[in-house]
Amino acid sequence: MRALQVIPWPVKLRVSLVLSVLVITLAVLLFWLRTQPMLLLMLGTPLLILGGYAGWCRWPRWRWGISPSLLAECPQPPQQLARLTFDDGPTPGVTEKVLALLQKHQLKASFFVLLPKALQAPHLITQMVQEGHVVALHGADHRLPFWRKKTELTDSLQRAKQQLEALTGHAIHLYRPSHGCKNAALLAAVRTAKLQLCFWDYGVWDTDAPPPEVLLQRLRAVTPTAGSNQPGPVVLLHDGKGDDPQVPAHAPGLIAALAMWLPLLRK
């Protein structure tokens, strides 16, 4: 239910329209094929398989079929209600503000960085390490894994991992693919590169650039109660946007919302 609370209405509307079209199409097909069960089976089975595979590829929370050795969880900082993760950075003009807020409130986060941006701002990577945050890999670029060969993905991940390790001085184990997308070629590349996939529990659509008060409402909706003894949910945020090195439009709202939300995360 919390996940539904943080999805923006335009996204809910788009999904509802797509689902409505699919349901109507399926109803028409069933009516047309009601006297032809073999044809229905021949058409319906591949469609169900393709639909399931598409969902598995695109939905980060669908992890069935993935070897446990390829999966990892973000560490749970002590006395912290949520596990914070930031993707697509580092971005000068944004990441240092995020780091300053985390330092002020004595909170830790995991930063899934894009290699080109890390190479352009090594001082921010050094600051993350020095202040006790986790530095993880988001890729050599923000491209999706689809239509890319295993050899290309493997080479990209291995080189990005090695270069990021040189920047941090530490081994890199965690990797989050772009948009959480995955396929068989990517899983094979992750295994060869000796990485582990690390997804999230809640995205709050901060890159849609909602007003700070709207983003704060979404963040509060996914914040567990102070008495919870369970590991905090992994919350997805962005201190950049894709491969664009410029300060993204959502950054001011993000910083303003974080300034109000982070004080609520101490147990």
Nearest CA to 199 out of 5, 37, 26, 3 is that of 3
Res 29: pLDDT: 65
Question: Do residues 40 and 145 share a domain?
Answer: no
**Rounded CA separation 180/55 (Å):** 11
The domain that contains 121 carries what CATH number? 3.20.20.370
pLDDT tens, residue by residue, 128-142: 999 999 999 999 999
pLDDT tens, residue by residue, 203-252: 999 999 999 999 999 999 999 887 667 789 999 999 999 999 999 999 99
Question: Do residues 130 and 256 share a domain?
Answer: yes
| 43: enclosing H helix or E strand | helix 37-58
> What's the pTM?
0.84
Question: Do residues 180 and 82 share a domain?
Answer: yes
Give a yes or no: residue 89 inside a domain: yes
Give a yes or no: residue 63 inside a domain: no
Question: Do residues 74 and 42 share a domain?
Answer: no
What sign does the CA torsion over 181, 185, 188, 191 have? negative
Res 266: pLDDT: 87
**Rounded CA separation 261/267 (Å):** 13
Question: Do residues 76 and 41 share a domain?
Answer: no
Q: Which of 58, 79, 98 is the last residue of a domain?
A: 58
Res 166: pLDDT: 97
Question: Do residues 161 and 137 share a domain?
Answer: yes
Cβ-based neighbours of 227, under 8 Å, separated by 6 or more: none
Question: Do residues 46 and 110 share a domain?
Answer: no
Q: Which residues of the chain have pLDDT under 70?
A: 1-23, 26, 29-59, 227-228
Tokens of 170: 């530490």
Nearest CA to 15 out of 25, 31, 26, 4 is that of 4
Question: Do residues 51 and 93 share a domain?
Answer: no
Question: Do residues 195 and 83 share a domain?
Answer: yes
Domain range spanning residue 84?
Answer: 68-265
**Rounded CA separation 121/114 (Å):** 11
Res 218: pLDDT: 93
| CA contacts within 13 A on the Cβ side of 134 | 23
